[in-house]
Amino acid sequence: SYVLAQPPSVSVAPGKTATITCGGNNIGSKNVHWYQQKPGQAPVLVIYYDRGRPSGIPERFSGSNSGNTATLTISRVEAGDEADYYCQVWDSSSDHLVFGGGTKLTVL
């Protein structure tokens, strides 16, 4: 089955840029989606189809996808961005939805 690899944690200072990676075999050929989950809350879709932003998601959130790595970038990080972030793809070879293991973003 398809596997997505994320770093367990990323730390960034307020106002700086956070980069969270999601690795997978030829992931650039798939559509990647990203979710933000704050403690005690349900996940929220922040990026879909590699780089699309749902309504209400700040422009500070952006995504890219190429080769074996997809990336979520959060510019001008704020304290409120502290959360777990999950990447996700649909594996059409198995008809399974696959999540990465999640990355905890800490704002220093």
Partner 1 sequence: QVKLVESGGGVVQPGRSLRLSCAASGFTFSSYGMHWVRQAPGKGLEWVAVVIYDGTKKYYTDSVKGRFSISRDNSKNTLSLQMNSLRADDSALYYCAKAEGQLLETIDFWGQGTLVAVSS
Place of tokens 């500070």: 60
User: Judged by CB, which is closer to partner 1: 14, or 96?
Assistant: 96
From the CB of 16, what's the least distance to partner 1, in Å?
Answer: 25
From the CB of 12, what's the least distance to partner 1, in Å?
Answer: 21
User: Judged by CB, which is closer to partner 1: 48, or 73?
Assistant: 48
Cα separation of 4 and 99, whole Å? 7
Binding site for partner 1 (CB under 8 A): 1, 31, 33, 35, 37, 42-45, 48-49, 54, 84, 86, 88-90, 95-102
User: Judged by CB, which is closer to partner 1: 37, or 68?
Assistant: 37
Cα separation of 84 and 104, whole Å? 4
The residues facing 35 across adjacent strands are 45, 86
User: Judged by CB, which is closer to partner 1: 16, or 57?
Assistant: 57
Q: Which residues of 79-89 are buried (b: 16+ CB within 10 A; e: fewer)?
A: eebbbbbbbbb
